[in-house]
A = this chain, B = another copy of it.
Amino acid sequence: MKKLDEVIDELCDPRNYEVVHHSQTRHVPMPSTEVLGEIVERLRAVLFPGYYGYSDVDAENMRSHLGANLDKVDRLLREQIRRGHCFSCSLESEGEADCLDCEELSRSLSRKFIARLPEVRRLLTTDVMAAYEGDPAAKSPGEAIFCYPSIHAVTNYRLAHELYHLGVDLIPRIITEMAHSKTGIDIHPGAEIGERFFIDHGTGVVIGETCIIGRNVRLYQGVTLGAKSFPKDDSGKLIKGIPRHPIVEDGAIIYSGATILGRVTIGAGSVIGGNVWLLKDVPPGTRVIQKPAGGAEGENALLLESLK
């Protein structure tokens, strides 16, 4: 049997670790998923005071708690942004980058992000109301805030989306991936999603990077809003940044397991039935279901056979 020392030798051979080793640029480590987790939990406490974090927040002490929380978020986030930047930077530059600029940039990005929080909260408030009003099981908006995977995932998304817009590297993706792991809902931080957005149950939902979703849209579990294909350039490389995911207009509803691929438009107020596989535009106000093959409307073609 190989000895431990031989195994270590192999694993420490640069040819074996070349691709999978992260060599720090200027001793700046990778962003910390643990700290990012703390940041997001602090932000959840800021956005939904009393539901998360310190529970006894009232009008009197809110300024202190919120202020202390935001100040800490600011310091922590700034450092994580810098790490994310440094990680990306090390991929491109030859070590000539001016790190002090990065420091300044991170500071500024963190503040710009924080300035967006009131608007993020406004949007989430509409999401909460949509969840509450759209689910017969919900007894109060508070229940939706506290228990619903949709609110959890959409909160992470809306925060990550702001960072994405500011051009922050790596961090937004980690933040939505955290929610993906917890809820099974995978929303790319680049997607644009309007207010009053709700996903019921949610497991298996995928929303791609260039999706544009209007106001008052509702999805069910297992819905995919994906890309149809990835165009490549002449040299065979994937072309990045091209709009390649669906546009879903205001008020559309998409039932469980439906798959919509490519830059198609689902018109306002349309309803897409469950398990539908859709690759083309749908005009506003249309209901799309699987074609019945002799069965009831909305069913797929079924064969029934007695087992007896």
Taking a contact as CB atoms under 8 Å apart, the answer to whether B259 and A285 are in contact is no
A88 CA to B206 CA, complexed, in Å: 33
A54 to chain B, nearest CB (A): 7
Taking a contact as CB atoms under 8 Å apart, the answer to whether A61 and B71 are in contact is yes
| In the complex, residue of chain B having the shortest beta-carbon distance to the beta carbon of A69 | B68
Taking a contact as CB atoms under 8 Å apart, the answer to whether A55 and B269 are in contact is no
A141 at the interface (CB under 8 A from B): yes
Taking a contact as CB atoms under 8 Å apart, the answer to whether A121 and B67 are in contact is no
Taking a contact as CB atoms under 8 Å apart, the answer to whether A29 and B56 are in contact is yes
A124 at the interface (CB under 8 A from B): yes
A106 at the interface (CB under 8 A from B): no
From the candidates B30, B57, B201, B299, name the one contacting A50 in the complex (CB within 8 A). B30
Size bin of chain A's contact surface: 35 or more
With a CB–CB cut-off of 8 A, which chain B residues contact A67?
4, 8, 61, 63-65, 67-68
Taking a contact as CB atoms under 8 Å apart, the answer to whether A201 and B222 are in contact is no
A163 to chain B, nearest CB (A): 14
A97 to chain B, nearest CB (A): 16
From the candidates B12, B147, B182, B209, name the one contacting A137 in the complex (CB within 8 A). B209
One complex includes copies of this chain to the number of 6
A176 CA to B124 CA, complexed, in Å: 24
Interface mask (A24-66 → B, CB under 8 Å = 1, otherwise 0)? 1001011000000000000000111111001111111111111
With a CB–CB cut-off of 8 A, which chain B residues contact A102?
none
A28 to chain B, nearest CB (A): 9
With a CB–CB cut-off of 8 A, which chain B residues contact A47?
20
Interface mask (A272-308 → B, CB under 8 Å = 1, otherwise 0)? 0111111110110111111111111111111111111
A204 at the interface (CB under 8 A from B): yes
A244 CA to B221 CA, complexed, in Å: 18
Enumerate 23 A-B pairs (CB-CB under 8 Å) in ascending A order. Answer: A1-B111, A12-B62, A16-B121, A16-B122, A17-B121, A19-B128, A29-B56, A30-B146, A64-B67, A87-B142, A136-B244, A146-B174, A184-B184, A204-B221, A220-B226, A222-B224, A279-B296, A280-B296, A285-B307, A286-B304, A288-B305, A289-B302, A293-B293
